[in-house]
Structure 1
């Protein structure tokens, strides 16, 4: 019933029974329970009875919060999302020092935000942390995150301890979280099969198939940045050469245009876009990047056949310079391009995409009926 109210809007008890297939008496019991928990409200001012419209039930849940965090090489992001899908907090924090963030920096941000929300009377049902790396099937342990230098880190347990062990916490891949955010809030809400590509120092993919994330046998699906289709002379953060992200990641892009990295991937890309608007050599370099990007996208599209490819992160401000070349490669390389060509779209969610998707993941247990409110 919560999912129906979220996706289809307010409805009377009779309409909810029709939508969900549940008996009207069952709907009445659920409405009473969820109303007590503050998840829904029923308009008591509307007249009800024989021959009159029923009172509309509305999803509220402003006090029921899921927390989402993203850890990246040069920033931390946080989003607090209420049950109705509304942002309560959305923030970015730059990493102190020259290296990637520490676990302690993440814990400091996470506990600060959680404590502030609890002090304001909110109920935190869970938290999810998005990371640029491989996450074990337990959704708690980082198996390998080369750009962070975090390997075999039981991050969920450390955060739960810091939270006082009353905030169930999960860990997920950042591209998976961003793909979930795009499918629920962004530019791929109209399709069931999409491919999301991160655009930060690392390159990862979130694959949505028939409306669900595709995770693979070990939960490691989407580590596309390490496909061996890049420049053989380029060294990747994983220590290998020839990885795709070593040719199309943020730092590879900066090398191609001869510029330095800024405070965040977004601010860096905006600076590059400003130069590209004035300088043909920069535009040419970005077109070359688009070709390298297209080679990887064509490889992936041949295998998973997405309806839409969403480019996130630093690709968004540079879309007008990168996407035409990438599209050209798709048209030339896909065997059935004349029948179906995936549409490349630019993310609308900005740098908070992964943290937003992580917050959606933190609320998933409520919508599945597995978490009481």
Structure 2
């Protein structure tokens, strides 16, 4: 009866029985993706992203745009409207989430601290603005690294990994910690705020106002300063330009070597505390590849305290700047997949 109701609601579909099964063959049931979707968004310093994910886990739409300001709420709402029109037309939106480079309180709605975003992002303003766009849909707000880590664990470079650490590679540096497919958030939900660890250049000024933070040595702006190149419209475009220049410019390669060493220092510290099996590097790190990974690996080998420690495998993100939006969309489906929402009613 339950399966019949879900099938009538176009939430599941029965498939053909599997060959070779003994006894009376059962009919496997699979989730359908033609009616129910979720919306995932990301607001970052210099870009906004949107992903529409269907109930079967397929991405119906993914888009990233340059942001005009570091709190481009209008740009976020515009990409959200376009994503709904192009990727969710005729579908029921079950949930929505927005990822931000910030500390988010345990209510999954309130931004507590967003040092890299301008005034106006803190509090519940983002959630309320999206509430108006999606009446009747619960909108959650989450840390961008946590969302990206969740996406990598379910769709990307950390799939099948029991314990993974994800590092963002944008203006800020954050971490998402994944254990057995679930994000570890800590007592107050603030775990992973690694960008402000005192690692690297002790004189470098951070966006938080202090000196010596890790992201002031390995964040996007720090990397561009190290190689003497300008910022382009998104982190990926900036990094692609740097990688192209590095092929012929030894000064650029030397700058990336310094960034890679400071990256390795932080990973060594986190590895000693968390013992991850895999570290996934997202954002601008992906186009640079071994230009930063090789010095990071060497530094990691030098800094691990004991030969008994296993160096985590460093992997590049396979999801690009859409990782956090994809993770936000996936997390928005959580209550549905946990059986907390009835899909058999009208709507």
Residues 1:82 and 2:24 are matched in the alignment? no
Aligned residues: 340
Secondary structure, counterpart of 2:61 in structure 1: strand
In the TM superposition, what is the alpha-carbon distance from 1:273 to its structure 2 partner? 0.3
Change (3 A) 1:216 1:51: closer
In the TM superposition, what is the alpha-carbon distance from 1:56 to its structure 2 partner? 3.4
Which runs of structure 2 are paired with 1:148-297 in the superposition (5 Å)? 148-149=117-118, 150-163=121-134, 165-297=135-267
The equivalent residue for 1:299 is 269
Please give the alpha-carbon distance, in whole angstroms, between the structure 2 residues aligned to 1:183 and 1:336.
28
Residues 315-367 of structure 1, C-alpha deviations (whole Å, 9 max, x = no match): 01111111111111211111244441110000111111111111101111111
Please give the alpha-carbon distance, in whole angstroms, between the structure 2 residues aligned to 1:42 and 1:63.
16
Give the root-mean-square deviation of aligned CA atoms.
2.0
Please give the alpha-carbon distance, in whole angstroms, between the structure 2 residues aligned to 1:339 and 1:201.
31
Change (3 A) 1:329 1:109: same
Change (3 A) 1:51 1:307: closer
Q: Which one of the candidate residues 106, 114, 120 is aligned to 1:137?
A: 106
- TM superposition score normalised by structure 1: 0.87
Change (3 A) 1:222 1:115: same
In the TM superposition, what is the alpha-carbon distance from 1:210 to its structure 2 partner? 3.3
**Structure 2: which 5+ residue stretches go unaligned?**
none
**Higher mean C-alpha displacement, 326-335 vs 244-253:** 326-335
Secondary structure, counterpart of 1:73 in structure 2: coil
Residues 1:56 and 2:28 are matched in the alignment? yes
**Structure 1: which 5+ residue stretches go unaligned?**
1-28
Is contact 1:135-1:171 (8 Å) kept? yes
Change (3 A) 1:339 1:300: closer
Residues 1:332 and 2:302 are matched in the alignment? yes
Please give the alpha-carbon distance, in whole angstroms, between the structure 1 residues aligned to 2:87 and 2:311.
45
Change (3 A) 1:335 1:294: same
- TM superposition score normalised by structure 2: 0.93
The equivalent residue for 1:14 is none
| Structure with larger Rg | 1
Secondary structure, counterpart of 1:208 in structure 2: strand
Please give the alpha-carbon distance, in whole angstroms, between the structure 1 residues aligned to 2:333 and 2:116.
28
